[in-house]
């Protein structure tokens, strides 16, 4: 179990930076996936051990960075509230995962070599 955890903690993470302001990486994609799963920003934040304010700010940033919203929200009240990842948001997630897979596959041998330099003290 510890070996699996060590391997997972050493798995590289991809962050896409486009221009000077738009970025999408592991945290934002995990948040989008959690919103899609839970139907709620607050539930997604709890699942990720993140404050609601932080999650809301990330969703707002994500929505401003793209040409269409990735997340739609519904006001609370009698009917509840909630949030949903749009079809466009699901497409962005799909393409991010596709890029991530291609990138990691293309550098797999180099990453194996590189991890030999790591001490493992931070695990």
Q: 54 falls in which pLDDT band (50, 70, 90)?
A: very high
pLDDT exceeds cutoff 90 at 7 = no
Q: Are 55 and 31 in contact (CB under 8 A)?
A: yes
Q: What is the pLDDT of residue 113?
A: 84
**Number of domains comprising the chain:** 1
Q: Is residue 104 part of a domain?
A: yes
Q: What is the pLDDT of residue 122?
A: 57
Q: What is the pLDDT of residue 27?
A: 93
Range of the domain at 40: 24-115
Q: Is residue 33 part of a domain?
A: yes
Q: Is residue 100 part of a domain?
A: yes
Indicate the burial class of 11 (C-beta count within 10 angstroms; 0-12, 13-18, 19 or more): exposed
Q: 77 falls in which pLDDT band (50, 70, 90)?
A: low
Q: By C-alpha distance, which of 71, 65, 6 is closest to 39?
A: 71
> Where residue 71 sits, what CATH number does that domain have?
1.10.10.10
Q: Is residue 14 part of a domain?
A: no
């Amino acid at each position: 179990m510890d070996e699996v955890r060590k391997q997972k903690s050493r798995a590289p993470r991809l962050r896409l930076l486009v221009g000077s302001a738009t970025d999408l990486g592991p945290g934002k994609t995990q948040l989008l996936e959690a919103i899609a799963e839970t139907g709620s920003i607050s539930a997604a934040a709890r699942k990720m051990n993140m404050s609601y304010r932080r999650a809301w700010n990330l969703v707002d940033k994500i929505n401003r960075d793209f040409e269409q919203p990735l997340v739609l929200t519904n006001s609370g009240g009698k009917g509840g509230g909630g949030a949903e990842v749009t079809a466009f948001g699901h497409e962005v997630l799909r393409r991010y995962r596709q890029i991530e897979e291609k990138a990691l596959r293309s550098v797999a041998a180099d990453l194996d070599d590189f991890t030999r330099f790591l001490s493992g003290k931070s695990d």
